[in-house]
Amino acid sequence: MKKSFVFLMAALSFSALTAPGAQPALARLWCLSLRLQPGQDEFGLSTLELSTLDAVSNGELAPTFSSVLSHGSGFLLYDMTGLEPVRGTIFVDVPVDLDANANGFEDFFEVEQNVPVSTTSGIFNSPGGNGTVQATWSRTAGSKDGTCVFRLTLNGGGPLGSFSHAFELIEYTGPLTYTPATNSVSGVVDLMQTGNSTNRLIGPVRFLKAVTNRYDNLELQPGVWTNAISQSLAFLADEFFRDP
């Protein structure tokens, strides 16, 4: 897991929080960032790479946490001349309005769900000019990998090309074994990356039961998990609410 991919979401499926002894639950953790491979235009003459880092291309399309356009990144646009690439920024929506299984989570970030061909829009900015982006997304159910095509059009200058990228969702699933107490819930997670079973996240979790809503509101306490090569993933406090 690249250290820059830090925007994570989690869903937990608890049984009763008052029963004594260890209890099983299902946990799913997913990254709001997408990893995009370099994309070529339809003629094979230009390559578009995304990165949220200055020194190296990491392929990350990261959440903006904005109500305008959901994701953004820096970009490098190379052509066959071998000259210095064009640098700029790109902002685009991902299709998050689909929830076919009505579980309250966007199908786009749920590997087991299908994402039919969907089109969103965005913008790009560069020293050579600004323009619009038309993004076309698709992904089959059960696959962490999908495809997206970014069609870039320069304001007042016409199309720059349609760049086809493979994109990857980063999702972990696995058991959470927990033991409820009077005012808290403690447990251990053992999560495996979907599509790459060698990548795992293991570690303890601890929740406090909210004083005003002890059965439907848990307050996650800060902690640290480790991956398969003993790297640490620290997480902060957060709140979990029972789905009605």
Share of the chain above pLDDT 70, in %: 91
At 111-164, the pLDDT tens digits run: 999 999 999 999 999 998 999 999 999 999 999 999 999 999 999 989 999 999
Please check whether residue 162 is in contact with residue 42, taking contact to mean a CB–CB distance below 8 angstroms. yes
Residue 180 three-state SS: strand
pLDDT band at residue 63 under the 50/70/90 scheme: very high
DSSP state of 84: P
What percent of the chain clears pLDDT 90, i.e. is strictly above it?
A: 79
What predicted TM-score, i.e. pTM, was given to this entire model?
0.88
Cα angle value 32/100/136 (rounded, 5°):
55
Residue with tokens 């493979």: 166
Burial class (CB in 10 A: 0-12, 13-18, 19+), 130: middle
Give the model confidence (pLDDT) of 198-217 as tens digits. 999 999 999 999 999 888 89
Q: How far apart are CA 98 and CA 217, in angstroms?
A: 26
For residue 181, CA distances in Å to 3, 155, 215, 217, 222 come to 34, 61, 12, 14, 18
Q: Which of 12, 18, 87 is nearest to 49 (CA)?
A: 87
pLDDT single digits (tens) 165-188: 999 999 999 999 999 999 999 999
Each residue of 185-196: pLDDT tens digit? 999 999 999 999
Instruction: Give residue 24's pLDDT.
Output: 83
Cα–Cα distance list, 133 to 7, 101, 164, 236 (Å):
24, 30, 13, 35
Using alpha carbons, select from 160, 104, 166, 172 the residue that is nearest to residue 137.
166
